[in-house]
Structure 1
Amino acid sequence: MTAAHTTTAADHLDTITERWTSLQDRVGDRPTTTWPPAMGITRLMSDEERQEQAAERADTATDAPGPRPTPVDVDVLDVMTTIETGLVTAADWLAERIQRPAFRATTGRGWSDDVHRQVVLLAAKDSADPRRWTFTGQRTAPEAAEWLSLRLGGTPGPFRTLDEGERQAVEEVARMSAELLRRTLGEARRKEAVPHPCPQPCGGQLVVEGGDGAPPVVRCEDCGRTWTDVPSDAA
């Protein structure tokens, strides 16, 4: 395994620890955009599809009549659950394989024996070593990401060195988690098929690309024609 691969995985895990609060903040916001963006694709919709879209907006828009639900982005909650479950599960799996069991000592001999007392204290200290991954209690995505990053980096502790398969497994979880986080925060470019054919004679497959903060683009994969949004206040 090259150093470049390790650095990339560490960067992915750092992204989780550094940007997790951004996801938490996003949960309290009502979604302001949808993916894929409608853009000019609405002109290709049937009358029935346009009516369904209007009915959905009447029911969910913040200015619609009637009581409105508490502003929560359920999609972001789902993403956070997915990321956290993946990272914590990976940490549990890895700890079972590489983490040395805590040293144990019998405590029935009292404290009069200095050697016995030192052994008991050593066992208690080993069990409470903060470098250990714990299998109970609250385990968050940032905590799991940090612990996995330290294991990839070979930081000393009650662990053995990762083998190649373990390293690759952690790197894959780190990559997928960071990719999902960036995509949710609008920092990763996405591509998705559009359920309407190209309006040009080719009738080819349309795809929409965007989601990374740059203006979205609709492109025909057959003829290559592209469409972009034009601001309403454009001259």
Structure 2
Amino acid sequence: MTTTATHLRTIALHWTDLHEAAGQPVTVGAFGLGLRGYLARLDAADRDEFNYDRNHAAHLRTQERDPLQLGERPIPVRLHILDTMRLVEAALNDTADQIASSTQRPPMPYAPASWPAADRARRNALAHADLADPRRWRWTGRRRTAPYVALWLLARVEDKGGPFRKLTGAELGQIGVVADGAAARIEQALDIAAQQRTLSTPCPDCDGAVDVHGGEGRVPVAHCTGCGRIWAESGVIAA
């Protein structure tokens, strides 16, 4: 539960950073952006992620009335940041819809007309307050912002009360998986987490496995686990 809560807080705290990063130029130290020539040849997955068709489709989506369009922004927009935001927001909203449908109790009914006036007034006041409880999840047909949903799910995980029953172990696990994936996507997009990836193509000298280390704003380096050779953007730096 503690880990899930940490992931949900990460989402809420870094959402503004994603908004700001969406219109900024790519930084040199981002993971996977150094060693361009090496990774361009060896990591097909990264090549496919930024193909023209996908970028063009994302660009067309940004022409809609998206909150990210408001105000002046540098061009071009960082499309992978926008994609991250949309994926995270969709996953969180879908999860909240499911959790609310199974854990949120219906509003208290209003008093029947046959009740005495004083009792009816008291009961109706309670029913109205229950219906208007801001902790209730409401199906409006529009997605809520990721920070709102993350904090709503956090309140459920921490059992903060309200018109809900306690989450089951399966429901806690469901939120945990989504929160973990969402936080990881955000950290990758913002380059605030250390990362390591083993390339599918072996070392050209010894056929050993090649690991790429980067993230946290550092320039990535590639390291052969067989012969120990190390590459950076400028070429071989150790052999």
Does the alignment reach a TM-score above 0.5? Answer: yes
Contact 2:31–2:219 (CA under 8 A) maintained in structure 1: no
Identify unmatched segments of 5+ residues in structure 1: 1-5, 46-55, 57-68
Contact 1:111–1:117 (CA under 8 A) maintained in structure 2: no
CA distance in 2, matches of 1:43, 1:214: 16
Change (3 A) 1:141 1:24: same
* Corresponding residue SS for 1:216: strand
Matched, 1:83 2:79: no
Matched, 1:139 2:135: no
Specify the alignment match of 1:28 in structure 2.
Answer: 23
Specify the alignment match of 1:3 in structure 2.
Answer: none
Specify the alignment match of 1:71 in structure 2.
Answer: 76
1:207-226 paired onto structure 2 within 5 Å: 207-226=211-230
* Corresponding residue SS for 1:182: helix
Question: Which of 113, 117, 133 is the matching residue for 2:117?
Answer: 113
Greater RCO (CA < 8 Å, at least 6 residues apart): 2
Contact 1:183–1:212 (CA under 8 A) maintained in structure 2: no
Deviation of 1:220 (Å): 2.2
Contact 2:34–2:220 (CA under 8 A) maintained in structure 1: no
Change (3 A) 1:182 1:43: closer
Change (3 A) 1:203 1:41: farther
The aligned length equals 202
Question: Which of 103, 108, 131 is the matching residue for 1:103?
Answer: 108
Which amino acid is the alignment partner of residue 211 of structure 1?
Answer: G
* Corresponding residue SS for 2:110: coil
Q: CA RMSD in A?
A: 3.0
CA distance in 1, matches of 2:188, 2:40: 27
CA distance in 1, matches of 2:217, 2:137: 37
* Corresponding residue SS for 2:160: coil
> Normalising to structure 1: TM-score of the pair?
0.75
Change (3 A) 1:70 1:171: same
Identify unmatched segments of 5+ residues in structure 2: 42-51, 53-73
**Structure ID, larger Rg:** 1
Deviation of 1:88 (Å): 1.1
